[in-house]
Amino acid sequence: MATATLQQELKCCICLNIYTEPTTLPCGHTFCKQCIQKTFQMSIHPSCPECRQRFPSGMELNINMKMYNITEYLNSGKTKYQGGCTYCNGIAIKLCLDCETQLCGDHIKEHSAGHVLTDLSTTLQSRKCPIHQELLKYCCMVEGVHICASCGLFGDHKQHKFEKLSDLSDKEKCSLKILVDLLTDEKAETEKKVTLVKSHKEKVALKTEFMKKLVTGVIWDMKKELESVENQILCQISDLEDQVLNQVSEVIKTLESQILDINKQIKEIQNLCNTTDPLTILEKTTLNTQKANDLLNVENEYYVNYLDSGRILVMLQSSIRRFTMSLPLLLKNRGFHTEDATSRLLPIGHIIKNVPPALLLTLDGQDVNSPRFSFSTSTISSGEHYWEVETSDKPSWAVGLSYYNNGYGELGYNADSWCLQLTKDKQLKALHDSQEVSVTTYDPLKAVAVYLQYETGLVSFYQVSNNSMRYLCSMHAQFTQPLYIGMHVGQSGWIRIRK
């Protein structure tokens, strides 16, 4: 009990906690340094909260070191209060402020329900008026301090408005209950969000696994297709090798036959030279001479074929092209959606005639005489579309989209078309309705990618190189009609769709 009493004596009457940096005023009363500083700052004339003795403004506040050491010892947790019940030998767990008694669990049940019960760490002295030694049951609404009944009836607060602490407490409880309800609702909403996010996390994991399998499947299909291409080319090379070797074998066979005939004739002539009969020599010389001359006059020129590397290169390019053209089908079979923009191009045979030969438009790798404009025969009215074009570094050319396919006006110079244009002075510009915006490019500009999002109303252009893609510009519009893919070339430029 002595420790508990000591704790009560070491509590600040302002914050009702054990002193923090205890500061003793000249009147002898002690408070937390921070508490008394705030009290003085809120008052015109600083005074002691207990005895009301006034002090000069700006008075120096010094910490009571002896009391500081005691409170530090208590706050360090080296002491522990254990009290007994006032009515029995049981351990007290609550303090009744009205009866000023300590209660165990059994006596709390029998105690008056209207009394105020608090923790044992609370001291009676901290809940009593320092002037009248009565319980603090009211709050002065003018000064915002807790007072007893005598303070309100006879003391310094008799002219002030005050309310019961219990009433104020009930109001605060109502506010706290509302706050708890709000927090409970917020917790429920947050838990729902957590559930949704966790569900999204699971979906992302499943989608990731699915996409990995999908990509793995596509790569496997591509490897299989490439292996087929490789085998086909190797077989064709082997066939070429067989053809060359067969021809070489025939040449060797012919030459070896000639060698046998020559050896035979040499032997006959040598035998004739070894003959001693003059008449035999004269009779057979003419015949052997004729045979020898026939062998000497045999055409010795022969042609041996070589393995045609150019033909092999053509086969390789053709196979690679077929493989490239098969990729959309491979992707489609695995669930990817792709569209070949070249299927929307105007066939070469349909190009308008009577155009100066200098205006060249390259389609499908073939240079042909073509008009200044070329448009696709079918339209785009929904979805997302992507295609690439190879371009010349010489002006001028343009690639874009239009509501019309008759070449009326020029691409970008009316309200019904959008394009990226390389001008005569080699300036790259985005063009729509004759309004142009300069676009920064990165040399050399050899290929341009076009990405159309019809519903979004966005067409974007990118510079394509071997290993990278750079963003050039975008144009926004609200597309209201089907679109044609359009191209334009000037006197020196050319443009070619990549398949």
Look at residue 344 in the predicted model and tell me its pLDDT: 40
Question: Which residues, including other chains, have CB under 8 Å from residue 458's CB and lie 6 or more apart?
Answer: 452, 474, 475, 476, 477
Look at residue 499 in the predicted model and tell me its pLDDT: 60
Contact 165, 137 (CB under 8 A): yes
pLDDT-derived band of residue 81, with 50, 70 and 90 as boundaries?
very low
Q: Which residues, in sequence order, are bridge partners of residue 82?
A: none
CA 87 vs. chain centroid, Å, equals 71
Q: Judge if 2-160 and 341-498 fold alike in CATH terms.
A: no
Dist. CA 142–CA 150, nearest whole Å? 16
Phi-psi region of 457 (alpha: psi -120 to 50; beta: other; left: phi over 0): left
The DSSP 8-state label assigned to residue 134 in this structure reads -
Q: How many C-alpha atoms does 478 have within 13 Å on its Cβ side?
A: 0
**Across 93-115, average pLDDT:** 80
- Tracing tokens 């600083």 back to the chain, one arrives at 46
Written as six digits, the tokens of 10 are: 């070491």
Q: Which residues, in sequence order, are bridge partners of residue 402?
A: 417, 484
Look at residue 487 in the predicted model and tell me its pLDDT: 87
Q: What percent of the chain has pLDDT over 90?
A: 21
Element (H, E) at 488: strand 484-489
- Assigned CATH topology for domain 2-160: Herpes Virus-1 (3.30.40)
Mean pLDDT of the chain: 80
The verdict on domain 341-498 having CATH code 3.40.228.10 is no
Q: Cis before residue 492, ω within 30 degrees of 0? A: no
Instruction: Please state the domain extents for the chain.
Output: 2-160, 168-296, 341-498
**Across 366-381, average pLDDT:** 61
Contact 58, 36 (CB under 8 A): no
Say whether pLDDT at 46 is over 80: yes
pLDDT digits (tens, 9 = 90+) for 246-274: 988 988 998 898 889 889 989 988 888 88
Contact 334, 221 (CB under 8 A): yes
Look at residue 431 in the predicted model and tell me its pLDDT: 94
